[in-house]
Structure 1
Amino acid sequence: MVTVLYPADGASIGRYPIASQMTAGTAAGFGEFAPLGNPQLPTAGVDWAATLTHAHVGAPAQAVRRPVVLYSPGGGDPRTLGTYIAEELASRGYVVVAIDHPGDAAAVEFPITTSYRHKLVRTTEFRANPWTQPDVYRTLIAARLADTRFVMDQLELLARGHNPDAAGHPIPRHLPQALDLARVGMYGHSAGGTAAAEAAYDDRRIRAVVNMEGYLDYPPDQRGRPGPLFPVVQHGLDRPMLLLGTDGFRDANIDRSWSAMLAHPGQRTRRRQIDDAMHWVFSDFAAMVPQLQADGLMTAEGRDQMVGAIDPGRSVPAVRSDVLRFFERTLPGE
């Protein structure tokens, strides 16, 4: 499952419905399973299906060739939890393809059932932090890399006029013409950042990458020993990469693997840091969690553990700006 956000034809956009952030099925699964990975979140009192986006479903695209940017969310997160960055990029002239990873994300809602999937909603297989289970973590990243290759292949078919929609829904007008697959980037958060970095190493169709606080080493097989580095770190990347982190989540694994990435000759990788922040500031939790705390549904300590003390009026523009400016330099528009 993917969401594609793109600059729309403003003359007709008002005739198309505003998109919700999550479908009802995804929201129900998210409300049940997201607190397992983030116990700071409330288990009741939130209507996760109520949030609207700034996008309109099915609106015609502007008939202009645009750079394409893929997005992979954090472990356990649905693709829609990266809406605040995706909308910013789309509003600035990019086609953003947000990818769900079924079995990984808290919940994924499909448009149809199949012979091997009898329900529309698939919930996560995770009941513990995959980083503590090396075999599970390897499978998680391998699945995300396979998902990314599949989506890239489908985008090539779409650009040639094929319709990859599983339910046969019509493609928005001019969308195939808007895809410039010679200018493809990828960004991701946490496990999605790891997958984005390694996907760029594996697939030369990806020309620039942003890793938002994803480890670039595997979990150690033996406690007390460092885990092996990903191939992208071992061999380097001959295309631009931004390592975007926080002061609150920074640890020995981040420093070791990111420093090894930065040490490669050629200086194609850069690092930036958001201060007074924590790991989920790179997701829509950056704006949601402070509101939940203000409404008494989370503690101040829980807020700090998820997004840090930084005000969303600072964190959201800062992250948007860092990601946008990187892609403006590496995947310039028309």
Structure 2
Amino acid sequence: MTRHTAPSRRTVAKSALLGAAAVLLGPSVARAAEGTAALGLPAPTGPHRVGIRTFALTDTSRDDPWQPGAREVMISVLYPARTVRGFPRAPQLTPAEAREFADLAPAVHPGLPAAGVDWGAVLTHGHVNAPPLPGRRPVLLYTPGGGDSRTLGTTLAEDLASHGRVVVLVDHPGDAGLVELPSGIRWTVLRGDPDPATFRTMIDTRVGDLRFVLDRLGDLPLAPLMDRDRIGVYGHSAGGTAAVHLLASDDRVTAGVDLEGYLDLDPDLVAGLDRPLLMLRTDGFESADRLVRSWEGVPARRVLLTDANHWIFSDYAHLVPQLQAAGLVTAGTRAALVGAGDTAAATALVRGGVRAFFDHRLRASAPPARPRRAPQ
């Protein structure tokens, strides 16, 4: 596999498109030439305010497949907060990520604005370092789409946390479009659609990252909040593929959700899945035929979103329509990303469906533990 060194901001902005595997990390405030259109994320629907803490973790037992050195991951942990008074809301992108992404956006998705957007001004509804509400709660891991940052899944994660869950957003450096590590910004190595060998490396690395995070949950300052007998996993696109592979191979995970991710990488592993799985897809996804074929025979509940497209499962569902309303993207760009339908209704369906699934499958009275499978 070809290894890529980290390119400069200008080089990446002018390079070949990252393609379907690398997408926008999450815009915030769009400023048109005449006037300002403020963009935001919808508030969580649950009874609890949300706290957020971010951690950098290093797995010294694994080499990074994309560059020399030990494997590093970034995670954000969202949780119900006891109070948020005096604790600021977190931005969706760090200042350094936002500065770099300003050049990357139009190369990632043609049709997104090449200027006039402040990518760093959007605020999430997570309050940095807010004290947690006491109690042990189910844990949900999130793995984003190929080339995505973990922050692109903020809206769904905040909603789950506001309803009493601990949600761990996992970044996959080298695969993620860009991510700020303690050592600095790390760019994606992806160029265009990944070939089979690259996709295999992506999924294997993501599953390894998720297992490593599970191993480290007990070491985090927020460990007392986490009921590690009730763990679920969900992911979008390549993250959906990784989520199902983790579910099928690690007995620490009880239930999973696949948000439009292929399941044809390891058909025998997936065919043997014996745990609850929810699968959601859109009618606008350009690779729907392959997706449906890859889902054949998989024991799971299936949900179809109509008048929607692939990125409806991410924060694009909210940001792209606002960019369109501000005159900064066309109707065609919107349709290609999230579809032409009612994105608010789709968001409510996704939020409610995922939440109800995990509420049902991660009840307090968990089933008896089965013997653990050896990690593969």
Task: Tell me, yes or no, if structure 1 residue 287 matches structure 2 residue 324.
Answer: no
User: What pairs with 1:1-334 in structure 2 (closer than 5 Å)?
Assistant: 1-10=74-83, 13-110=84-181, 112-113=182-183, 120-130=184-194, 133-158=195-220, 171=221, 175-218=222-265, 229-233=266-270, 235-249=271-285, 251-262=288-299, 269-332=300-363
Unaligned runs of at least 5 residues, structure 1: 114-119, 159-170, 219-228, 263-268
Percent identity over paired residues: 51
Shift of 1:333: 5.4
- Report SS of the residue matched to 2:281: strand
CA contact (8 A) 1:33 1:106 kept: no
- How far apart are the structure 2 equivalents of 1:213 and 1:29? 28
- How far apart are the structure 1 equivalents of 2:191 and 2:108? 8
CA contact (8 A) 1:75 1:104 kept: yes
- How far apart are the structure 1 equivalents of 2:199 and 2:103? 22
Tell me the TM-score normalized by structure 2: 0.74
- Report SS of the residue matched to 1:260: coil
- Report SS of the residue matched to 1:320: helix
Tell me the TM-score normalized by structure 1: 0.84
CA contact (8 A) 1:76 1:124 kept: yes
Shift of 1:42: 2.3
- How far apart are the structure 2 equivalents of 1:217 and 1:33? 31
- How far apart are the structure 2 equivalents of 1:261 and 1:37? 33
Shift of 1:53: 1.0
Q: How many residues align?
A: 291
Shift of 1:247: 1.0
- Report SS of the residue matched to 2:117: coil
- How far apart are the structure 2 equivalents of 1:34 and 1:210? 28
- Report SS of the residue matched to 2:85: helix
Name the Cα RMSD after superposition.
1.5
- Report SS of the residue matched to 2:233: strand
- Report SS of the residue matched to 2:80: coil
Shift of 1:34: 4.4
- How far apart are the structure 1 equivalents of 2:104 and 2:192? 11
Unaligned runs of at least 5 residues, structure 2: 1-73, 366-376
- How far apart are the structure 1 equivalents of 2:230 and 2:245? 18
- How far apart are the structure 1 equivalents of 2:242 and 2:105? 21
- How far apart are the structure 2 equivalents of 1:316 and 1:50? 22
Amino acid at match of 1:309: A
More strand by share: 2
- How far apart are the structure 2 equivalents of 1:27 and 1:230? 39
Aligned residue for 1:166?
none
Classify 1:28/1:182 alpha carbon distance in 2 versus 1 (closer, same or farther; 3 Å).
same
Amino acid at match of 2:308: A
Per-residue CA distance 1:130-167 (angstroms, 9 max, x = gap)? 1xx11111111111111111111110333xxxxxxxxx
CA contact (8 A) 1:198 1:230 kept: no
Aligned residue for 2:26?
none
CA contact (8 A) 1:185 1:327 kept: yes
